[in-house]
Amino acid sequence: MYFHLIGFFVTSAPADRADSLISDLVLTANETLLAKGAPAGKGAKILDWKIVDSKIRVEIESDRYVRAHDAFIRLKKPLAEILGKKYHIGIRGVEIESFVVKFPSENPVKAATIPHVSKIEFESGETSVWMDIGESEIQKRIPDRIITLIEDKITAEEYGGKEEHWSLLWASEEKTILYREDPTTELVKRNWIKHGAARGQWIYGPEATSVFRAFERIVVAEVLDFLGYQEMIFPKLVSWDVWKRSGHAKGVYPEIYYVCPPKTRDPEFWEEVADYYKVTHEIPLDLIREKIDDPIGGLCYAQCPPFWPFLQGKTISDETFPVRVFDRSGTSHRYESGGIHGIERVDEFHRIEIVWMGTPEQVVEESERIQERYRYIFEEILELTWRKAWVTPWFMAQEGLTGTSGSEKVGTIDYESLIPYRDGWLEFQNISVNGDKYPTGFNVKSQSGSELWSGCSGVGLERWASTFFAQKGLDRDGWPSAFREIICELPEGFVFL
């Protein structure tokens, strides 16, 4: 990586008299100040400087160790000291004429407008990025965030366009397959489910609901009660502050349902909307847009982030660890665009979210315990054909990143089931060790000061049902005996004439 910056220090008077002092400072800084913290032979270097009226023009190049914009700011204080001490000349501010960063890359970077970036060019295996920045942006670390963003985009391009890293960990034996049709079609035909009024939404009749509740009882008995989890209720409206701290603010925008409050609850303010509907029986969307405020966040997208404000800024006694909690209090919402299919890929879904926190060793051990419980359920109760794979950590995928976390312990395991009617596999369960991402993001500390990690696992009832029905069908008599004992008799649903 290569950095090149041309900037000016704006002085309170021409600094011609300080010419020799500035020259000495430049020579010294190139060997000390601008190399501090970098390996031998690395760092930043002042290529040229000159006095132009009441400005001092400086040209700096660097590698990634002491970046040129940081070197420029490092130079400001010692320069002000030598100018002020002898000549009573102050530095009134800084200006940056040109700042470009060059990255090695195999392909052009696909990027829409990036704040403070004026131009991006690709040539001969190199991407060049021109930035419009000032001292304020440097102090706020804006250039470094842009660099990280471009590096992420380059990594994604060089990864070959794959959405996820995937590595098989284990696969079950193939169980008896009793059904080879799309179960959603049969569910609709039998009146077990019906499309809801909104997109990607289903209404579940008594029969389907009883299957969902049976899944819940299995998870509660065989995982949550077995391992000592406590139930909580997490919010389902998530604010921007939560998503900033959780990392979702980096890339969640195409997939969330936004929540906009009214500008006021005053009935008079809304009277024309109500009157319009009363006369036309049409909803005046344009009028409503004028009367709602900016989005305050969105509906629950990933179920665990809104839990963390409960612990935010707190120090927790060591005897509390590992923390074990779960939530099953409401729906999650994700805009799936053209990917909607049956009950397996929907915009509104039902999930049990399992969250744990403790020392790194406790969190990894807890993940392994939960994995054993899932294996027992899928093998002994549901008798599924399934496999599990190490994949791009879910939190990276939701931030638009690819590959692995870089740690052997931190990451996500996806559970996939065979879907016979399409000769493919469906991700129906996952479990993640998230490292220190959430305790750090929400400033959670332990009494002893030990490092804290967390993990989470989402049990999606629609995905479990899709998996089970796709392999076992809808006829209760063909279901595994262990599951039949749990669900007992199916209720009698609606008969439509």
- Predicted pLDDT of residue 109: 86
Same-domain check for residues 142 and 250: no
Name the domain boundary from 110, 130, 158: 158
Q: Is residue 53 in some structural domain? A: yes
Question: Residue 270 — pLDDT band, cuts 50, 70, 90?
Answer: very high
Stated length of the chain: 497
Residue tagged active-site, from 347, 414, 416, 462: 414
The yes-or-no verdict on residue 441 having pLDDT over 90 is: yes
pLDDT of residue 110: 80
Distance CA 59, CA 42 (A): 17
* Predicted pLDDT at 399: 55
Domain count along the chain: 2
User: For this structure, is 475 an active site residue?
Assistant: no
Q: Is the distance from CB of 457 to CB of 354 less than 8 angstroms?
A: yes
| Active-site residue, 345 included | yes
Confidence of residue 405 (pLDDT cuts 50, 70, 90): very low
pTM given for the model: 0.82
CB 203 within 8 A of CB 331: no
How deeply is 27 buried, as exposed, middle or buried, from its count of CB atoms within 10 A (0-12, 13-18, 19+)?
Answer: exposed
Catalytic residue chosen out of the listed positions 399, 427, 436, 451? 427
Q: Do both 300 and 435 map to the same domain?
A: yes
Instruction: Tell me the C-alpha distance between 109 and 111, whole Å.
Output: 6
Based on the residue annotation, tell me whether 427 is a catalytic residue of this protein.
Answer: yes
Q: Reply yes or no on whether 141 is catalytic.
A: no
Both 44 and 75 in one domain: the answer is yes
Q: What is the pLDDT of residue 162?
A: 46
| Domain identity same for 327 and 467 | yes
151 and 30 within one domain: yes
**pLDDT tops 70 at residue 403:** no
**Residue 250 shares a structural domain with residue 115:** no
Per-residue pLDDT of 49-77, as tens digits, reads 999 999 999 999 999 999 999 999 999 99
Q: Is the pLDDT of residue 163 over 70?
A: no
* 64, 74, 145, 345: the active-site residue: 345
Catalytic residue among 157, 255, 336, 365: 336
Single out the catalytic residue among 67, 324, 334, 351: 334
Catalytic pick from 327, 416, 456, 462?
A: 456
Main-chain phi, psi angles of 490, to 5 degrees: -75, 145
Residues 310, 158: Cα–Cα separation, whole Å: 39
Over range 155-159, report the average pLDDT.
68
Annotated catalytic residue 92:
no
Tell me, yes or no, whether 351 and 214 share the same domain. yes
463 is catalytic: yes
Known catalytic residue at 225: no
pLDDT of residue 153: 84
Residue pair 129/146 in contact (Cβ under 8 Å)? The answer is yes
- Are residues 127 and 146 in contact, defined by beta-carbon separation less than 8 angstroms? no
Is the model's pLDDT at 200 over the cut of 80? yes
The predicted model gives 311-336 an average pLDDT of 96
In sequence order, what E strands does 12-155 have? 44-52, 55-62, 91-104, 117-123, 126-131
Q: Which domain holds residue 81?
A: 2-158
DSSP secondary structure letters along 247-280:
SGGGT-GGGPPEE--BS---TTTTHHHHHHHHHH
Residue 414 bears catalytic tag: yes
Residue 26 pLDDT > 80, yes or no?
Answer: yes
The mean pLDDT of the chain is 93
CA atoms of 289 and 294, how far apart (whole Å)? 10
Of the residues 158, 181, 210, the one at which a domain ends = 158
36: domain CATH number is 3.30.70.1920
